[in-house]
Amino acid sequence: MIYTVGIDSGSTATKGILLADGVIARRFLCPTPFRPADAINDAWETLRAGLAETPFLTLTGYGRQLVDFADKQVTEISCHGLGARLLAPETRTVIDIGGQDSKVIQLDAQGNLSDFLMNDKCAAGTGRFLEVISRTLGASVEQLDAITEGVEAHAITSMCTVFAESEVISLRSAGVAPEAILAGVINAMARRSANFIGRLSAQGPLLFTGGVSHCATFAAMLERQLGLTVHRHPDAQFAGAIGAAADRPTPEAARMTAYLFLFHSTVGVVRMRKALQAADYPFRSRTFHVSCAAAAGCAFICTVCREKNRSGLSPAKRKPYFALPGMITSCWLTFRSRHKGYPCQGVNHRPAALRLRGPTADRPAPVLFAGRVRRQPPAATRHNARAVAVALAHGIPINPPDRQQSALAA
């Protein structure tokens, strides 16, 4: 049986799912604490408890970069799209409203992501907005359906959280029933969400996900505003975690090995390229800007930043980007999707799984990295490019540099 775990670290709630051969076996849900990493750790320990083998772990959400033991990190857009497709295969549009943002995802006929819009700059129209207004009126989000059932909504003109809160206080002072105010707030949110969805030329069927999807009143008002049927699912809040758990490399990709080499300058890459060409071994070369992040227990650990020209920013404005597949942890590395033999032994962080399209599953293309480092690694860790190329060409496993000669001799 194949176990996979997906954890969605959101701003308000942390969700986790354990899949056993693609079927939901366990769920985890808790409010996101002051330190989101604590909730991720709790979810991981709870979901994998009692299993004979360690499941493949994929993280998504805002806190996906806060821990160092995940096998993979995926953006929430991809995970929500995949999770929605698994919950309701006929879904063509996903509206996700969480605690911090709202997003609309459009899927094609095959269920693949085709377009999306995201609003993460303003709290208006999110779960936080609904929570603030409910608290102002002395209610909880869980009580909204019971409070607003059969109530005529009072018009709310402000959607900014600050101004709306002031307007709600004024309406309450004027004698307007709190139930009518809450219904008006939900209706205003539904109207805003409908306009947001309309910007993407949304098509049905439409699936409503996120924590706000539990509010039946909101779903009904959104249906009225859109003129489309809004579907909900009991596990809609877990859509991101379900998509993360399902986004595991295929067995073919998991068997593929990619050899990653970090050189201190392009000279090393040129030498390695020539050696591989002489050995008639296929390869591809990519360049990264690298900064040293040495940690105790490892001689040389570096952090991969944004790929050159990936963001279009000048080098001075590029910021570290930890979600790149194949995160480098030393000056040499042999990667498998679940490889545990890297030099640092996970002291600083575990690299994400790397998928590559090699020439064959038995002989994939190595990736050559050129980087700028602030600290030169020890001479013992530098590669003999020609020796490595010969080893690759003859299928000899790549060992740490100090054991390369013995491997070649064997």
Q: Where is pLDDT greater, at 203 or 380?
A: 203
Q: What totals of helices (H) and strands (E) does the chain contain, helices first?
A: 12, 15
pLDDT tens string 319-374? 332 222 232 323 333 332 233 333 333 323 333 222 222 333 444 444 443 333 33
pLDDT score of 208: 93
- How do beta strands 284-292 and 302-307 pair? antiparallel
Q: What mean pLDDT is predicted for residues 157-169?
A: 82
Set out the domains of the chain in order of their start, with CATH numbers: 3-85 (3.30.420.40), 91-232 (3.30.420.40), 251-283 (no CATH)
Q: Among 1, 3, 4, 408, which Cα is nearest to 245's?
A: 4
Contact assessment for residue 226 and residue 197, using Cβ atoms and an 8 Å cutoff: yes
pLDDT confidence tier of residue 275, bands split at 50, 70 and 90? low
Q: Where is pLDDT greater, at 285 or 341?
A: 285
Token readout for 90 is: 């006929």
Token readout for 115 is: 């377009």
pTM: 0.61
Q: Where is pLDDT greater, at 332 or 142?
A: 142
Q: What mean pLDDT is predicted for residues 301-306?
A: 29
Percentage of the chain modeled with pLDDT above 70: 60
pLDDT tens string 238-265? 999 999 999 876 554 443 334 444 444 4
Q: What mean pLDDT is predicted for residues 39-43?
A: 95
Concatenating the DSSP letter of every residue in 58-113 gives: EEEETTTTS-S--SEE--HHHHHHHHHHHH-TT--EEEEE-SS-EEEEEE-TTS-E
Instruction: Choose from 38-42, 136-140, 369-373 the range with maximum mean pLDDT.
Output: 38-42
Q: Where is pLDDT greater, at 301 or 97?
A: 97
**Span of 35-39, 119-123, 293-297 with lowest mean pLDDT:** 293-297
Q: Where is pLDDT greater, at 24 or 410?
A: 24
Indicate if the pLDDT at residue 131 is higher than 80. yes
Token readout for 254 is: 């998991």
Indicate if the pLDDT at residue 285 is higher than 80. no
Average pLDDT, the chain: 69
Amino acid (one-letter) located at 142: E
Helices (H), 137-231: 144-148, 161-173, 178-198, 216-226
pLDDT confidence tier of residue 270, bands split at 50, 70 and 90? low
pLDDT confidence tier of residue 74, bands split at 50, 70 and 90? confident
- Tokens 């996906």 found at: 64
pLDDT score of 155: 85
What DSSP element (H or E) covers 272?
A: helix 266-278
